[in-house]
Amino acid sequence: MKALLDSAKHLQDKQTKLRRDFHHFAEAGWTEVRTASIIAKHLIEMGYEVKMGREVIAADDRMGLPSQEELDKHYQRAMAQGAIPEYAEKLRDGFTGVVAILRNGAGPIIGMRFDIDAVEMNEPQGNERRPGREGFASVNPSAMHSCGHDGHATIGLGVAELLMEYRDHFSGTIKLVFQQAEEGVRGAKSIVGSGILDDVQYMLGSHIGNGAPVGTFTPGQDGMLATSKLDAIFTGKAAHAGGNPDGGKNALLAAATAVMNLYAIPRHKFGATRINVGRLQAGTGRNVIPDRALMSLETRGETSALNQHMYDYAMRILKTSAEMHDCGLETKSMGAAQGGISNRALMARVAEIAKNLGCFHTIATETGKVGGSEDYTYMMERVEQNGGQAIFMGLGAKLGGGGSASASAVEGGAHTIDFDFDESCMPLGSAIFTAIALELAKK
Ligand SMILES: [Zn+2]
């Protein structure tokens, strides 16, 4: 374990450089052509069997895909910013996932997931933040690594390197999943849909978090809310509001009827549920009966069943509201995640492994709680359905938390413009994933 930790710590400079490169050229979900192609290149150079694009993504299970025009535009940008042409070709048009496989003798099959996409927001370039000051703030509009997935991708490549170095110490198969489009919970389902994880017995995932300093480790987290994201488009008929009001079909009215009733869905006795209508756009002008309304909404539930209840109820309201005002309705699924509970037996083993690794000063004894949603839950669910065990770990990464000398004072929560993290969390992340694999697939 000591040797492994030393090997991991030697990765620090390389990992910092790599993370800052991913950060500088941040790419949002389904457009991560540059990021994924560089990941693929590293993995192939290390000697992995690498599958990518359509080999690991079920086209029909993709959700919330940008338009073809957007995909083309971002592909061109990726090429101009140094994407590896050979792999970019396989990743383009919304197929930006990469899976590396190491078949290393008989033994358990272990899956690990690292998400790679940025959040759709602009990153400020100013000197008051470290990324601006040290020249690695995102140059791409509407793409900022404000959730730390640049760190996740880098941790994953570190794991790949360590597993190769320590391959004589274990016997089994490892599948490293570099997942596209986690933001908006749009990508994981398509990876699961490809069947690439169907034989996996242990599934590991994690998120870095800047609520706790480097050296803090949570073996398992729960509380990921199952969710469905959808767009509803109401279509009516325009007419003169004064001269022919009864000749129109009011899409705005249908949508407004739906909004009021969506919020009136009763709570559920089995647990927490949520509903939100985050956007409503309708109509063209004051004196015209509105012929179109676009609504973006989401449902959530503490479990997949609770979310399903909310989703079914919401769909019924959308349909009947459209019908009430004689309008048409089209709904599009824009993203989804399941509920997820970390496996207690695996958590206990992993806590022990973390302790033996010797780099974590605080190992949580309680299960962590994730407030939002995570589409990694699709992977957890698939592995559990097949009799396997899955956990979602947490890695402390708070800047100024005593982990790194270069710590900056400026740091905000995930999905804020002040987000940043302590880069010394990355070797520890790579070390713990590797240590778990070595233990689970011990010779
Ligand atoms: Zn995230």
Could you report the per-residue pLDDT of 171-181, keeping only the tens digit for each?
999 999 999 99
CA–centroid distance, residue 181 to ligand 1 (Å): 10
CA–centroid distance, residue 145 to ligand 1 (Å): 9
Q: Quick check: helix, strand or coil at residue 136?
A: coil
d(CA 324, CA 366): 50
The answer to whether 171 and 107 are in contact (CB under 8 A) is yes
Q: How confident is the model at residue 406 (pLDDT cuts 50, 70, 90)?
A: very low
Lowest mean pLDDT among 94-98, 144-148, 365-369: 365-369
Nearest to 174 by CA among 355, 55, 47: 47
CA–centroid distance, residue 179 to ligand 1 (Å): 11
* 413 phi, psi to nearest 5 deg: -70, 170
CA–centroid distance, residue 249 to ligand 1 (Å): 42
CA–centroid distance, residue 115 to ligand 1 (Å): 8
Give the Cα-Cα-Cα angle 182, 281, 68 (nearest 5 degrees): 45
Beta bridge pairs of residue 103 = 173
Residue 151 has pLDDT above 60, yes or no: yes
Q: In what order do the strands lie in the sheet with 226-235?
A: 273-282, 292-301, 226-235, 328-337
* Mean pLDDT along residues 40-61: 98
Query: DSSP code of 51?
Result: E
Tell me what pLDDT residue 403 has: 40
* Mean pLDDT along residues 66-85: 98
Q: In what order do the strands lie in the sheet with 362-363?
A: 49-52, 98-104, 172-179, 109-115, 202-213, 389-398, 216-218, 362-363
CA–centroid distance, residue 394 to ligand 1 (Å): 11
Give the E-state strand segments of 202-291 in sequence order. 202-213, 216-218, 221-222, 226-235, 273-282
CA–centroid distance, residue 429 to ligand 1 (Å): 15
CA–centroid distance, residue 305 to ligand 1 (Å): 24
CA–centroid distance, residue 39 to ligand 1 (Å): 18
Tell me what pLDDT residue 411 has: 67
Spell out the residues 6+ positions from residue 173 whose beta carbon is closer than 8 angstroms to its own.
101, 102, 103, 104, 107, 108, 109, 110
For residue 295, the tally of other CB atoms under 10 A from its CB is 24
Q: With b meaning 16 or more CB within 10 Å and e meaning fewer, what string describes 157-181?
A: bbbbbbbeebeebbebbbbbbbbbb
* Mean pLDDT along residues 194-220: 95
CA–centroid distance, residue 412 to ligand 1 (Å): 14
For residue 289, the tally of other CB atoms under 10 A from its CB is 22
CA–centroid distance, residue 93 to ligand 1 (Å): 23
The answer to whether 200 and 111 are in contact (CB under 8 A) is yes
Tell me what pLDDT residue 211 has: 83
CA–centroid distance, residue 265 to ligand 1 (Å): 29
Q: What is the pLDDT of residues 120-129, one digit of tens each?
A: 999 999 998 9
Mean pLDDT value across the chain: 95
d(CA 151, CA 18): 9
Residue 312 has pLDDT above 90, yes or no: yes
The answer to whether 316 and 310 are in contact (CB under 8 A) is no
CA torsion through residues 123, 124, 129, 131, sign: positive
CA–centroid distance, residue 420 to ligand 1 (Å): 12
CA–centroid distance, residue 209 to ligand 1 (Å): 9
Give the E-state strand segments of 214-303 in sequence order. 216-218, 221-222, 226-235, 273-282, 292-301
CA–centroid distance, residue 375 to ligand 1 (Å): 10
Give the E-state strand segments of 356-416 in sequence order. 362-363, 368-369, 389-398
CA–centroid distance, residue 148 to ligand 1 (Å): 6
CA–centroid distance, residue 183 to ligand 1 (Å): 7
Tell me what pLDDT residue 369 has: 83
CA–centroid distance, residue 105 to ligand 1 (Å): 33
* Cβ-based burial of 36 (10 A; exposed 0-12, middle 13-18, buried ≥19): buried
CA–centroid distance, residue 10 to ligand 1 (Å): 26
Q: What is the pLDDT of residues 409-425, one digit of tens each?
A: 446 788 899 999 999 99
Give the Cα-Cα-Cα angle 317, 322, 327 (nearest 5 degrees): 170
Residue 152 has pLDDT above 60, yes or no: yes
Residue 343 has pLDDT above 50, yes or no: yes
Tell me what pLDDT residue 372 has: 84
Residue found by looking up tokens 């073809």 in the block: 68
Q: What percent of the chain has pLDDT over 90?
A: 91
Q: What percent of the chain has pLDDT over 70?
A: 97
d(CA 54, CA 32): 14
CA–centroid distance, residue 207 to ligand 1 (Å): 7
* Mean pLDDT along residues 1-27: 97
pTM of the model as a whole: 0.93
CA–centroid distance, residue 170 to ligand 1 (Å): 30
CA–centroid distance, residue 340 to ligand 1 (Å): 15
Tokens, residue 422: 């302590």
The answer to whether 343 and 390 are in contact (CB under 8 A) is yes
CA–centroid distance, residue 283 to ligand 1 (Å): 35
Residue 407 has pLDDT above 80, yes or no: no
CA–centroid distance, residue 381 to ligand 1 (Å): 19
CA–centroid distance, residue 147 to ligand 1 (Å): 5
CA–centroid distance, residue 156 to ligand 1 (Å): 14
CA–centroid distance, residue 269 to ligand 1 (Å): 30
CA–centroid distance, residue 374 to ligand 1 (Å): 8
